Chains A and B, each alone.
Chain A
Amino acid sequence: MNSFKLWIAIATLVLASSTGDVLLSAAMKRIGDLDEIRATKGLLAVIGRVIRERLFLLGLASLIFSFFCLLTALSWGDASLVAPASASLTFICSAILAKFFLHENVDRRRWISAALVCVGVLLLVK
């Protein structure tokens, strides 16, 4: 039962952080190249433009929620299981969400790379 609870927390955490990343990406695509805005209007204009974007705020809220899920999961299970499991699953989940919601061209090169990074992150705790 306890491990079931833990995996639910990890799944929620992974979903929340991938959703946050996808929302941030969508928000930034809508705003346009930050380097150009900074070069023409300055850093303050960049910050103002970013925090007025609703998708960015949604993404940030999602990331904060995922952080609290992480804290909850850490209080229920080992850090050596929770941290790498959630980090590596997030890479795969984000790739799937980016393909379907951002319509990114996730070709074989990117799938292999996501898998390599996922396994690599898992190995980091050994």
Chain B
Amino acid sequence: MPSVWPLLPWYWPGNGWFDDGEDAAALARALGMGLRVKLKKILIYLAIACCNGTGDVLLKRGMEDLGAIHLSRWTHIFNAFLDPWIILGIIFLAGFFYSYLTALSWADLTYVLPATALGYVVTAFLSRVFLHEAVSPWRWAGVLLITCGVGLVARGPSLTEPRHSHTLPSAKEQHELV
């Protein structure tokens, strides 16, 4: 009677889901790495969105303390750098720029850009809760659309594979390897 193990829809030695030469430890490592990459993607998306949105709201809160800037007294704007809300906002925006650059170092631009749009969603929530601004139904519809767009792209691959990465080494390279 043939064994049913190879038919199981899960990783199992001998059912062709992975190379037979691979041992259980290598499989565990691969799964762990996949999980780590996934976690890294989620964390960087959250960092970009939260730092961007929070930074904007903090700047807005700080500028409320300062009042409107008039062109005739434009040096007034330097007082902004003394306001704790604005300093905090600038720190958050610096954090945004750092996480944005980090994300760009291992993901496509078209993958990272929607995350920056997620910052608008955070801004909408924070300005409702923290600044007590009215958020119209149209704006919530916009938030919903942005969230759908981000969710769509986030589920896809993060990096375009280089076109020649999987080709075999050339004869010269093979010779050098030997």
Contact = CB atoms under 8 A, between A and B. Distances in A.
Interface of A: 21-22, 24-25, 28-29, 31-35, 50, 91, 94-95, 98-99, 102-107, 109-110, 112-117, 119-126
B142 A120 contact: yes
A119 B108 contact: no
Interface string B96-115: 00000110111011111110
Given A99-B110, A116-B145, A120-B120, 9 more contacts: A22-B109, A33-B106, A98-B109, A109-B155, A112-B149, A112-B152, A119-B145, A121-B117, A121-B142
A81 B26 CA distance: 55
Contacts of A98: 108-110
Nearest to B154: A113
Contacts of A105: 108, 157, 160-161
Contact of B110 (A34, A94, A119): A94
A24 to B, nearest CB: 6
B30 interface: no
B145 A123 contact: yes
B142 to A, nearest CB: 3
Nearest to A94: B113
B105 A120 contact: no
A91 B138 CA distance: 20
A24 B110 contact: no
Given A120-B143, A120-B144, A91 B152 contact: no
Contacts of B101: 24, 28, 34, 50
Interface of B: 40, 101-102, 104-106, 108-114, 117, 120, 124, 136, 138-139, 141-150, 152-153, 155-157, 160-161
B149 A117 contact: yes
A34 B14 CA distance: 39
Contacts of A24: 101, 104
Q: Which of B105, B136, B138 has the largest count of A CB atoms less than 10 A from its CB?
A: B105
A104 B160 CA distance: 6
Contacts of A123: 138-139, 141-142, 145
Contact of B105 (A31, A102, A106, A113): A31
A110 B153 contact: yes
A120 B109 contact: no
A28 B142 CA distance: 31
Given A104-B160, A123-B141, A113 B114 contact: yes
Given A33-B106, A110-B156, A124-B120, A116 B136 contact: no
